[in-house]
Chain A
Amino acid sequence: KQEVTQIPAALSVPEGENLVLNCSFTDSAIYNLQWFRQDPGKGLTSLLLIQSSQREQTSGRLNASLDKSSGRSTLYIAASQPGDSATYLCAVRLDAGNNRKLIWGLGTSLAVNP
């Protein structure tokens, strides 16, 4: 059974720091992986989608990597800002024939302090 884990559950850093958020999954047979951010009381905003054939994707200060063999994806945030404070979630889509179910992590709550 595929499980998705995000550790730590919460992280607090000073402004300007480069940081890495982790997403681990137990089954390497994935189709793709998507990173989201969620601000309090808001919906989820898609950040990056990585297909299983890709190693990384970049958008602005964000870089997401994927290592299927080790069951891990990382979201790198460069030069963090207070506006980056949010909960970051990853979702793994299984590669299982026609039923490509999405498995969610519980998220990492990030606080970037001025």
Chain B
Amino acid sequence: DAGITQSPRHKVTETGTPVTLRCHQTENHRYMYWYRQDPGHGLRLIHYSYGVKDTDKGEVSDGYSVSRSKTEDFLLTLESATSSQTSVYFCAISEGVNGELFFGEGSRLTVL
């Protein structure tokens, strides 16, 4: 299995509070991604990174920000969580831009 660790795995928070999810990889892959998975929508890309300090928006980036200060770590931040951000969040990595994707175990976030 690809060495991808997400933390926390479960979090319950209240509307308006900031939340940070962490993705840590041991594979030294250049590309890292944050997805959310919701019933009926499948997987949707939030943000991705193509190198240290290099990030770009995905299809559902509003309300989210990311940072990548080291190759191995990719952080997803919800500045002010809303109930619509209740979801399961997955981190993924790939060696090349079109390469095989490998996923973490997911972080389940509930915003009350």
Provide the main secondary structure of the chain A interface.
strand
Instruction: Write the nearest CB–CB distance from B59 to chain A, whole angstroms.
Output: 8
Among B14-22, B40-48, B75-83, the stretch that binds chain A is B40-48
Which among B4, B100, B101, B105 has the greatest number of chain A C-beta atoms within 10 A? Answer: B101
Q: Does B90 contact A (CB under 8 A)?
A: yes
Q: List B contacts of A46 (CB < 8 A).
A: 100-103
Flag if B101 contacts A91 (CB, 8 Å): yes
Contact partners of B100 in chain A: CB under 8 A = 34, 46, 49
Q: Interface size of B by Cβ–Cβ distance < 8 Å? A: 18
CB-contact partner of A43 in B40, B42, B98, B103, under 8 A: B103
What residues on A are CB-neighbors of B43 within 8 Å?
89, 91, 104
Cβ-defined contact, A32 with B98, below 8 A: yes
B 94-112 contacts with A by CB, 8 A: 97-98, 100-106
How many angstroms from the CA of A43 to the CA of B100 in the assembled complex? 15
Q: How far is the CA of A41 from the CA of B101 in the complex (A)?
A: 19
B84 to chain A, nearest CB (A): 20
- What residues of B have a CB within 8 angstroms of the CB of A49 in the complex? 100
Interchain nearest-CB distance for B79 vs A (Å): 25
Interface string of B1-42 (1 = CB under 8 A from A): 100100000000000000000000000000000000000101
Given the known interface contacts A104-B43, A107-B42, the answer about A34 and B101 at a Cβ–Cβ threshold of 8 Å is yes
Cα distance, A91 to B33, chains bound together (Å): 15
- Provide the bound-state CA to CA distance between A83 and B101, in Å: 23
Task: Specify which of A44, A46, A106 lies most central, judged by the most chain B CB atoms within 10 Å of its CB.
Answer: A44
Contacts known (A43-B90, A43-B106); A100 close to B97, Cβ less than 8 A: yes
Picked from B4, B45, B104, B106, the residue with its CB within 8 Å of the CB of A102 is B45
Beyond A46-B100, A46-B102: 11 further Cβ-contacts under 8 Å? A34-B101, A43-B90, A43-B105, A43-B106, A44-B90, A44-B103, A46-B103, A93-B98, A102-B45, A105-B42, A107-B42
